[in-house]
Chains A and B, each alone.
Chain A
Amino acid sequence: MPEEHEDILEQVTTSEYKYGFVTAIEADEAPRGLSEDTVRFISAKKNEPEWLLEHRLKSFRQWLNMEEPQWPNVTYPKIDFQDIIYYSAPKQKIAPKSLDEIDPELRKTFEKLGISLDEQKRISGVAVDAVMDSISVATTFKDELSKVGVIFCSMSEAVQEHPELVKKYLGSVVPATDNYFSALNAAVFSDGSFCYIPKGVRCPMELSTYFRINAANTGQFERTLIVAEEGSYVSYLEGCTAPQRDENQLHAAVVELVAMEKAEIKYSTVQNWYPGDKEGKGGIYNFVTKRGICAGSHAKISWTQVETGSSVTWKYPSVILKGDYSIGEFYSVAVTNNYQQADTGTKMVHLGKNTRSRIVSKGISAGKSQNSYRGLVSVSKNADNARNFSQCDSMLLGDKCGAHTFPYIEVKNNTAIVEHEATTSKIGEDQIFYCNQRGMDTETAVALIINGFAKEVMNQLPMEFAVEAQKLLAISLEGSVG
Chain B
Amino acid sequence: MENNMLNSAFQTIQAEAGHLSSFQQQNWSSFDQWGLPALKHEEWKYTRIRTVFRDDMQVVAEGTGLTPAIIQQHFLPGELSKNAIVFVNGMYQPSLSRVSAPSTELVVKALSAAAGDEDAAFVKQHLGHSQQYHRDGINALNGAFAAGGVFIRAKKGKQVQDPVVIYHFSDAQSGFRFSQPRILVHAEAASEMQVLETYIKIGNEESLTNEVIELCAETDAHVHYVKLQNEGTRSNHTGTTHIRQLGRCNTHAVTITLSGNVVRNNLNMIMEAANSESHMYGLYLLNGKTLADNHTIVDNQMPNCLSNELYKGIVDDQSTGVFNGKIFVRQDAQKTNAYQSNKNILIGEQASANTKPQLEIFADDVKCSHGCTVGKLDENALFYLKARGIPDDKAKALLLHAFAVDILDQIKNESIRAYADQLISARLSYSE
Please, how many angstroms separate the alpha-carbon atoms of A404 and B329 in the complex?
10
Please, how many angstroms separate the alpha-carbon atoms of A400 and B368 in the complex?
17
Please indicate the chain B residues that have their CB under 8 angstroms from the CB of A397 in the complex: 364
Which residues 402-444 of A have a CB within 8 angstroms of B?
A: 402-426
- Check if A403 sits within 8 Å of B352, measured CB to CB: no
Which residues 342-386 of B have a CB within 8 angstroms of A?
A: 344, 346-376
| Chain A residue nearest in CB terms to B344 | A411
Q: Does B8 contact A (CB under 8 A)?
A: no
Q: A414 contacts which of B334, B347, B367 (Cβ < 8 Å)?
A: B347
User: Given A400-B331, A424-B369, are A417 and B375 neighbors across the interface (CB < 8 Å)?
Assistant: yes
Please indicate the chain A residues that have their CB under 8 angstroms from the CB of B355 in the complex: 409, 420
- Check if A402 sits within 8 Å of B367, measured CB to CB: no
| Chain B residue nearest in CB terms to A378 | B354
Please, how many angstroms separate the alpha-carbon atoms of A409 and B334 in the complex?
29
- Check if B369 sits within 8 Å of A414, measured CB to CB: no
User: Given A408-B354, A411-B352, A412-B352, are A402 and B362 neighbors across the interface (CB < 8 Å)?
Assistant: yes
| Chain B residue nearest in CB terms to A415 | B376
Q: Does A399 contact B (CB under 8 A)?
A: yes
Please indicate the chain B residues that have their CB under 8 angstroms from the CB of A398 in the complex: 364
Q: B357 contacts which of A71, A407, A412, A417 (Cβ < 8 Å)?
A: A407
Q: B369 contacts which of A418, A419, A422, A426 (Cβ < 8 Å)?
A: A422
Please, how many angstroms separate the alpha-carbon atoms of A89 and B350 in the complex?
55
Interface flags for B303-322 (1: CB within 8 Å of A; 0: not) read: 00000000000000000000
The smallest beta-carbon distance between A361 and chain B, in angstroms, is 13
Please, how many angstroms separate the alpha-carbon atoms of A417 and B346 in the complex?
10
The smallest beta-carbon distance between B416 and chain A, in angstroms, is 31
Q: Chain B: interface secondary structure?
A: strand
Q: Does A401 contact B (CB under 8 A)?
A: yes
User: Given A410-B354, A414-B351, A416-B346, are A424 and B375 neighbors across the interface (CB < 8 Å)?
Assistant: no
Q: Does B42 contact A (CB under 8 A)?
A: yes
- Check if A414 sits within 8 Å of B364, measured CB to CB: no
Please indicate the chain B residues that have their CB under 8 angstroms from the CB of A414 in the complex: 346-349, 351, 376
The smallest beta-carbon distance between B396 and chain A, in angstroms, is 13
Size of B's binding interface in residues, CB under 8 A: 35
Which residues 302-360 of A have a CB within 8 angstroms of B?
A: none
- Check if A399 sits within 8 Å of B354, measured CB to CB: no
| Chain B residue nearest in CB terms to A390 | B372
Please, how many angstroms separate the alpha-carbon atoms of A407 and B370 in the complex?
10
Please indicate the chain A residues that have their CB under 8 angstroms from the CB of B358 in the complex: 404-407
- Check if B359 sits within 8 Å of A424, measured CB to CB: yes
Q: Does A394 contact B (CB under 8 A)?
A: yes
- Check if B360 sits within 8 Å of A407, measured CB to CB: no
Q: Does A176 contact B (CB under 8 A)?
A: no
| Chain B residue nearest in CB terms to A372 | B360
Please, how many angstroms separate the alpha-carbon atoms of A406 and B361 in the complex?
12
- Check if B353 sits within 8 Å of A409, measured CB to CB: yes
User: Given A417-B374, A417-B375, A418-B374, are A409 and B356 neighbors across the interface (CB < 8 Å)?
Assistant: yes
Interface flags for B83-122 (1: CB within 8 Å of A; 0: not) read: 0000000000000000000000000000000000000000
| Chain B residue nearest in CB terms to A387 | B375
Please, how many angstroms separate the alpha-carbon atoms of A409 and B358 in the complex?
11
Interface flags for B321-350 (1: CB within 8 Å of A; 0: not) read: 000000000010010000000001011111
- Check if B375 sits within 8 Å of A426, measured CB to CB: no
Please indicate the chain A residues that have their CB under 8 angstroms from the CB of B334 in the complex: 399
Please, how many angstroms separate the alpha-carbon atoms of A18 and B337 in the complex?
40
Q: Does A396 contact B (CB under 8 A)?
A: yes
- Check if B376 sits within 8 Å of A417, measured CB to CB: yes
Please indicate the chain B residues that have their CB under 8 angstroms from the CB of A415 in the complex: 376
The smallest beta-carbon distance between A337 and chain B, in angstroms, is 14
Please indicate the chain A residues that have their CB under 8 angstroms from the CB of B42 in the complex: 71
- Check if A405 sits within 8 Å of B374, measured CB to CB: no
| Chain A residue nearest in CB terms to B362 | A402
- Check if A424 sits within 8 Å of B368, measured CB to CB: yes
Q: B354 contacts which of A404, A411, A419 (Cβ < 8 Å)?
A: A411
Please indicate the chain A residues that have their CB under 8 angstroms from the CB of B346 in the complex: 411, 413-414, 416
Please, how many angstroms separate the alpha-carbon atoms of A331 and B286 in the complex?
36
Please, how many angstroms separate the alpha-carbon atoms of A413 and B376 in the complex?
10
- Check if A420 sits within 8 Å of B348, measured CB to CB: no
Please indicate the chain B residues that have their CB under 8 angstroms from the CB of A425 in the complex: 366-368
User: Given A71-B42, A414-B346, are A396 and B361 neighbors across the interface (CB < 8 Å)?
Assistant: yes
The smallest beta-carbon distance between B266 and chain A, in angstroms, is 18
The smallest beta-carbon distance between A239 and chain B, in angstroms, is 31
Please indicate the chain A residues that have their CB under 8 angstroms from the CB of B353 in the complex: 409-411
Please, how many angstroms separate the alpha-carbon atoms of A413 and B353 in the complex?
9
Task: Kindly list 13 other residue pairs between chains A and B, CB separation below 8 angstroms, not including A405-B358, A421-B372.
Answer: A394-B359, A399-B334, A399-B365, A401-B364, A404-B358, A404-B360, A410-B353, A413-B352, A415-B376, A421-B371, A422-B359, A424-B359, A425-B368
24 A-B pairs within 8 Å (CB atoms) are namely A399-B364, A401-B362, A402-B361, A402-B362, A404-B361, A405-B357, A406-B356, A406-B358, A409-B356, A409-B372, A413-B346, A414-B346, A414-B347, A418-B375, A419-B375, A420-B357, A421-B369, A422-B369, A422-B370, A423-B368, A423-B369, A424-B368, A425-B367, A426-B364
List B residues at the A interface (Cβ < 8 Å).
Answer: 42, 331, 334, 344, 346-376
The 10 closest A-B pairs by CB, nearest first: A414-B346, A396-B364, A421-B371, A412-B352, A417-B375, A418-B374, A424-B368, A423-B369, A411-B374, A399-B364
